[in-house]
Amino acid sequence: MLLLSTFVVVLAGLSGAKPLASKRWNNVAVKHRWVEIPRGWEYHSTPPGDHLLDMRIGLKQDKLDELISSLYEVSDPAHERYGQHLSKEEVDALVAPHPDTVEAVESWLLHHGINPVDAQFRSASGEWITIRVTVAQAERMLDTKYGVYYHPASGSSVVRTMEYSLPAELHSHVQMISPTTYFGTMRSMRSTSFIQPQTTALVEDADSFAAEISPLAVPASCGTTVTPACLRAMYNTTAYVPKATATNKLGVAGYLQEFANDADLQVTFFKSFRTDAVGSTFTHVQVNGGLNTQSDPGVEANLDIQYTEGISFPTPNIYYSTGGSPPFLKDDSTPSNTNEPYLDWLNFILNQTTIPQTFTTSYGDDEQTVPQDYAISVCNLFAQLGARGSSIMFSSGDNGVGSGDCLTNDGTNREIFQPAFPASCPFVTAVGGTTRVNPEVAVSFSGGGFSRYFAQPSYQTASVTPFLTALGTKFAGLYNATGRAYPDVSAAANGFQVVIGGRTSSVGGTSASSPTVAGVVALLNDFRISEGKAPLGFLNPLIYSTAKSGFNDIVSGSNPGCGQAGFTATTGWDPVTGLGTPDFLRLQALVA
């Protein structure tokens, strides 16, 4: 890292260098551009020039290839480094920017009158810098014009731009800058859960529904009215008692400023559905202004924590409520937070010395609405988590192969299947949905398909190729056959009994599937840790190889969308249910 104070003094003394500096930064080229306003948004007005933004600059990591290589080695059960996860310091060293990158970015900032020493935030590795600038400054730095854009469906207003540019020299040093062209916010992004009023919920004042269900005789009712007892029986966790609770932890990442309600979990849910857990609780962590008022709890938050706890108890759970500043108001002098959810949470988590061994997240966007440089940056942050030994589950989405007209946003208006992000990131485990029991079948809304941003990783080629071969030319041109395929696995997604404000409702969505799988994975991590072994970490190289037989293959159902029939679940991997649903006892034997 440069000695900044010395650098500033030297630069200040070289007044004759200013013309050269100007020439150095005047040759600009577009970094990212939209050809049309992202769907669902509309231009509203011009923001005041003195409106403040917290600008994040993501610097290119010098040894990213080494990080990815290490991630695969420590995650591959056939490799001699399997389970030898990296420390925070080792990851930081690999993702630190090259000194030339630091010099170039800091020189550019100084050229615009910004002293890097005054940055609002700087990651330990130096790959992220956050500076506070006015809209007018940002427009000069990025050769662009910002606007206020409105999202009628969510009522959100954000300050964004349709394109931004950087000096040509910086393109090889800067991965991305925000807020710029990513229009997603915590309010416009989708939570992958929904209330199911058509499904009758178990009444709140009924006797306890926590009685154990035999894995050998799971009742048909578990296919439409799901409780922790149903899931524990379906996925064979009923008999397992966690032992490594002093070390093993499960983290739930929540957005939309949602929080989970203690009383709903402790007083009502546990009393009805997991009586041995009555009186236990979980840890609340607020990130960037996240909420925990315990009033008006979120459906998503309560669903997540009630089912991670319902399966993994007594494993300690942590709920992370990620917040943000209010949306843009013309007369508001408060800096406009980027409201870009994954960066806030990921930078917070990666800055911690110790982190949970298992995570679940139930949110996502259409991949095409996320600028590719932004998606790559976020995906690489998930790789850092995996390298440190964490397993990361993401719901695959609730729109099958895509919702609405599925038209491209590149100006050509072609109809294509719409993959979801971050489920399409190759460094997370995407979880699709099923319904019914004896046997389970794919639920019609289960998100799945093939990324257009990320290539198909080698760990899944042997499993995906048979599906593509059998598919032949069906849907040709609608999906990217060489892209990262998802989901990886699946779990029940229909009729989850969730307590919200003291009352029980039926909730569906792959938001239910992801915490379910996370609960099972947390128990597998508990088993390994209690046996003196490392946690599983990044799961995909394992589950696509030696642990493949630990899943129940789902062979019927489909995921329609985009006006098409969608893909069909079949023998082996498919883009509706992945490898299938977990069987804890089989997996326990395979990861022993």
- Structure token digits, residue 458: 């080698």
Nearest-angstrom CA–CA distance, 434 and 492: 5
* CB atoms closer than 10 angstroms to residue 390: 24
Residue 221 is a catalytic residue? no
Could you tell me which of 514, 571, 527 has the C-alpha nearest to residue 548?
A: 571
**Pairing of β 128-134 and β 52-59:** antiparallel
Residue 33 φ then ψ, to 5°: -145, 135
The continuous run of DSSP H or E covering 254 comes out as strand 250-254
Q: What angle do CA 520, 380, 432 make, to 5 degrees?
A: 35
Say which amino acid occupies 242: P
Total H helices, total E strands in the chain = 16, 27
Annotated catalytic residue: which of 304, 309, 344, 367? 304
574 is in an annotated binding site: yes
Please answer whether residues 508 and 496 qualify as being in contact, where contact means their C-beta atoms are separated by less than 8 angstroms. Answer: yes
Helix/strand/coil (H/E/C) assignment for every residue in 569-587: CCCCCECCCECCEECHHHH
Helix 64-75, helix 372-387: angle, nearest 10:
50
553 is in an annotated binding site: yes
Cα dist. 68→75, 86, 190, 207, 400 in Å? 11, 12, 29, 51, 30
Q: Whole-angstrom Cα distance, residue 325 to residue 302?
A: 23
Other Cβ atoms within 10 Å of 4 Cβ, number: 16
Q: Where are the alpha helices (DSSP H) in 401-547?
A: 458-471, 510-530, 540-543
**3-state class (DSSP) for residue 372:** helix
Of 520, 552, 551, 549, the residue nearest 536 (C-alpha): 520
- 352 closest CA partner among 61, 75, 59, 89: 89
Look at residues 426, 391, 430 and name the one whose alpha carbon lies nearest to residue 525: 391
Q: Which of 542, 543, 545 is nearest to 82 (CA)?
A: 542
572 belongs to an annotated ligand binding site = yes
| CB 431 within 8 Å of CB 466 | no
Q: Which of 448, 434, 351 is nearest to 400 (CA)?
A: 448
- Asked if 359 and 391 touch (Cβ cutoff 8 Å), the reply is yes
Query: CA 330, CA 340: separation in Å to the nearest integer?
Result: 20
- Known catalytic residue at 511: yes
Task: Tell me if residue 243 falls in helix, strand or coil.
Answer: coil
Of 300, 340, 367, 583, catalytic: 300
Measured in whole angstroms, the distance separating CA 224 from the mean position of its chain's CA atoms is: 27
In the set 511, 513, 514, 558, the catalytic residue is 511
Q: Name the residue among 515, 510, 512, 506 with its Cα closest to residue 486.
A: 510
CA distance 522 to 528: 10
Instruction: State the binding site.
Output: 553-554, 572, 574
Instruction: State the binding site for Ca(2+).
Output: 553-554, 572, 574
Catalytic residue positions, numbered:
300, 304, 511
